[in-house]
Amino acid sequence: MKIDPIAVEVIGNHFRCMTDEMGVTLVKSAYSTNIKERRDCSAGLLDARGGTIALTAYTTSHIGSMLGLQDQIFQHCPLSTIEPGDIYMANDPFSGGPTHLPDITLTAPYFHKGKLVFFLASVGHHTEVGGGLGSATDIWSEGLRIPIIKLFSRGELREDIFNLILLNVRNPTERRGDLEAQIAALKLGQRRLDELFSRYSEREVLGCSRILFDQAERRIRASIAALPDGRYEFEDFMDDDGVDAEHIPIRCAITIAGEDIELDFTGSAPQVKGSINMTSYSLKSAVYYTLKSALAPDVPPNAGLYRAIKVIAPQASIVNCSPPAAVLNRSDTFARVVEVILGALAPAAPNRVIAACRGANTGIEFRGWREGNRFWSYLETIGGGFGARHGLDGVGGVQTGSTNTSNLPSEVMELEYPVFLERYELLTDSGGPGRWRGGQGVIRSFRIRSDGTTFRTKGDRCKSRPWGLFGGLEGAAGSFALNPGTAEERALPSKSFNVAAKKHDVIAVWVPGSGGYGDPRARERERVVRDVLFGYVSRESAKTDYGVDIDEAELERLARMI
């Protein structure tokens, strides 16, 4: 189809800008801090068959929340029943498309001259969706399951459906506000498509989306073709599932043949009782994100990117689970899958791959009840070490892998919740030594300001450590503790539920660092001295790991120069 290349650029940028604007609308309109401050949400535009055209993914795992959405709609809803003004809702990973229950996805069909041409989608992570607050070993215990249902029919809200959902959550006011923000994002997207079709014909707009798919496919295939053909394997282990399984293997064999790539996860553990299982869509989103980041970071994240990539995963495994597997904390496994893929790719693309990062979506969630029997829930995932790569040190205290959410500013947290931020800093010696040093982990400590608070922890890499590459050493592991440094100190597991905390208790989270890259003895002396001056590396580590003996006078001279 012959379409002016300038029109392709203009229309393609319109697609990207409109999803960006949808994302901003969602953030600015939301009620919960998890969306309005931490940006645990996404927005997207899909074609009539569900192919991703444009995506504003603040959280990379939300790619999976859209991959299977249209398949589920068409399975449950005949095309004749899909009408203008409809909005569909789903959160069930086994019958709705998203990857765990808190990620409620809304999608709206877009019609042009009576023809279904696009779907708009918005995803928000809702901090509480019913269910029990204790340890969950199946999907029913994790919350309210919403299959594909119509929330709006021909533009009219189905109040009975909305009321049913709000009746089954503990904070209906916040859930309503966040859902209305997601609806607002969809309506803005519809307006932007109206504007696009007022300037361009249907042939140009739809043809442009197909051209964008083809362009992305060509570019990712070219990146794959630049790698040496072969089979590359790697294996890593989750510490545990929080219930009864330990040292849980995740294996990946990557086969590169010309411009095609296949990732085979055969040999990964069977699905476990704990809530760290991934659905197939969650696995695919991890694969697509990792390959795009490592091989073709400038390629738009659309369906054309996915055409060159084949994913194989055994059914009922931890990376392709079957119902009724628990999946609440699938983001920890997502992060480890990313690292297994990078580990396998390292021999084929040594200058494009980073060492292991924090290896989990480390976080904590506080819950309690306010006066008037009002429930509150505060979830935060905490950044840690980002792995070193050829030519660059890692970065400390940042989100990696499955999420790009921000930390909640302490001022907001302390205004909204009875929680006080007591300590937040980078951890010395947590970044793996290397010619290029790994990024640091952090400690974040919270003091409870009211009785009756409970919390849960989520994470991994508390027993294993983030690996280095090509002679780089491991980063520091993570840990959790209640009232550290006191007579009441108690170590906490990385996966716990409904732990009671009393007023003035302190909960500390040590987030893992990341691996180093290259022989640490090859690191320039000046860099090591600077690391010691800034507190990234101790003098002991400088001497032991880097072979650099530093005295106080040298540190003082450098400090005066800086």
Mean pLDDT of the chain: 94
Residue where the block lists tokens 């009219």: 156
- How far apart are alpha carbons 499 and 432 in whole angstroms? 32
Asked if 515 and 432 count as a contact pair (C-beta separation under 8 A), the reply is yes
Give the model's confidence band at 487: pLDDT under 50 very low, under 70 low, under 90 confident, else very high: very high
Above 80 in pLDDT, residue 75? yes
Which of 57-61, 234-238, 499-503 is predicted least confidently? Answer: 57-61
Predicted local confidence at residue 72, as pLDDT: 83
User: Across residues 374-402, what is the average pLDDT?
Assistant: 94
pLDDT in tens, 212-263: 999 999 999 999 999 999 999 999 999 999 999 999 999 999 999 999 999 9
Proportion of the chain above pLDDT 90, given as a percent: 88
Mean pLDDT of 121-126: 95
Region 351-357: mean pLDDT is 97
| For residue 402, pLDDT beyond 90 | no
Question: How much of the chain, in percent, has pLDDT values that exceed 70?
Answer: 100
Residue 180: band (very low, low, confident or very high) from pLDDT cuts 50, 70, 90: very high
Q: How far apart are CA 236 and CA 15, in angstroms?
A: 38
pLDDT tens figures, 455-480: 999 999 999 999 999 999 999 999 99
Is residue 196 pLDDT above 70, yes or no? yes
pTM for the full predicted model: 0.95
pLDDT, average across residues 155-175: 96
Q: In the beta sheet, which residues pair with residue 482? A: 490, 507
CA-to-CA distance for 528 and 539, rounded, in angstroms? 9
What's residue 69's pLDDT?
80
**Annotated domain spans of the chain:** 5-200, 224-350, 354-523
Q: Report the C-alpha gap between 504 and 499 in whole angstroms.
A: 15
H or E, element range at 366: strand 363-370
Q: Which of 216, 222, 471 is nearest to 350 (CA)?
A: 471
Tokens standing for residue 60: 């990379």
**Span 408-445, pLDDT tens digits:** 899 999 999 999 999 999 999 999 999 999 999 999 99
pLDDT, residue 1, reads 61
